[in-house]
């Protein structure tokens, strides 16, 4: 018994959720996308309170998207594709500078989309890491190659400090909750292509509509 929130994190669930993200014609379901992030945040929270500032920002973004999903125009937010179309056609996005739409679905999802690239890189490194690899190094390398480019100095600094508090590889694999290390590696190999595909589809959509630099 218990609600979903108090259940333990499990890597399998995240992968299952990202699998459900894609529709038959390769559109990304927003509800599943958000659900995938919720599960990842569960993992982040289990790593300790130094990650609280990261988790707070991510939760905040998720709440914004959920409010759109449950709002009166929720039917326009079924997929990321329909969201982009709806918000652009109705001028609900601040395109060049912050203005009347600080909580557009488009700019909010872009932040999570950039973080998904970090995740893709990080899980890729974890998958191919050796027993003596350091999670903090894998994490900061992935961050430096992706998300950090969009963050001001203070955030990069705080993130760098938090990364040093990550548990080591064995403990991290344990938290994934899918069995022995070989099993974690196998699951990662299975799941990463799904995450990559969701990332790639969103990336193409955003590039096509010139949404890569939304303020």
Q: Examine residue 109 and tell whether it contacts ligand 1PZ (CB under 6 A).
A: no
With beta carbons less than 8 A apart as the criterion, state whether 18 and 192 touch. no
Candidates 118, 173, 199, 206: give the one binding ligand 1PZ (CB under 6 A): 118
Site string for ligand 1PZ, 48-87 (x = CB under 6 A): ---x-xx--xx-----------------------------
Total Cβ atoms within 10 A of residue 115: 20
* Site for ligand 1PZ, residues 148 to 207, rule: CB under 6 A: 155, 159, 166
Number of residues this chain uses to bind ligand 1PZ (CB under 6 A): 18
Report how far residue 176's alpha carbon sits from residue 181's, in angstroms, rounded to the nearest whole number. Answer: 9
Site string for ligand 1PZ, 120-159 (x = CB under 6 A): -------------------x---x---x-------x---x
DSSP structure string for 144-198:
HHTGGGGS-HHHHHHHHHHHTTSPPHHHHHHHH-SSSHHHHHHHHHHHHHHHHHH
Q: Examine residue 44 and tell whether it contacts ligand 1PZ (CB under 6 A).
A: yes
């Amino acid at each position: 018994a218990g609600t979903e929130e108090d259940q333990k994190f499990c890597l399998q669930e995240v992968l299952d959720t990202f699998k459900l993200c894609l529709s038959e014609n390769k559109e990304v379901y927003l509800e599943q996308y958000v659900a995938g992030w919720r599960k990842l945040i569960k993992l982040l929270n289990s790593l300790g309170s130094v990650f609280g500032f990261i988790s707070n920002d991510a939760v905040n973004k998720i709440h914004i998207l959920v409010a759109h999903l449950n709002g009166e125009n929720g039917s326009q937010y079924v997929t990321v594709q329909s969201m982009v179309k709806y918000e652009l056609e109705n001028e609900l996005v601040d395109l060049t500078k912050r203005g009347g739409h600080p909580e557009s679905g488009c700019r909010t999802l872009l932040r999570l989309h950039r973080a998904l690239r970090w995740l893709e890189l990080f899980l890729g490194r974890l998958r191919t890491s050796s027993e003596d690899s350091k999670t903090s190094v894998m994490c900061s390398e992935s961050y430096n190659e992706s998300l950090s480019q969009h963050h001001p100095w203070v955030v990069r600094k705080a993130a760098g400090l938090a990364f040093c508090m990550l548990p080591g590889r064995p403990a991290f694999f344990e938290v994934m909750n899918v069995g022995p290390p070989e099993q974690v590696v196998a699951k990662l190999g299975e799941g990463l292509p799904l995450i990559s595909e969701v990332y790639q589809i969103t990336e193409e959509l955003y590039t096509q509509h010139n949404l890569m630099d939304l303020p």
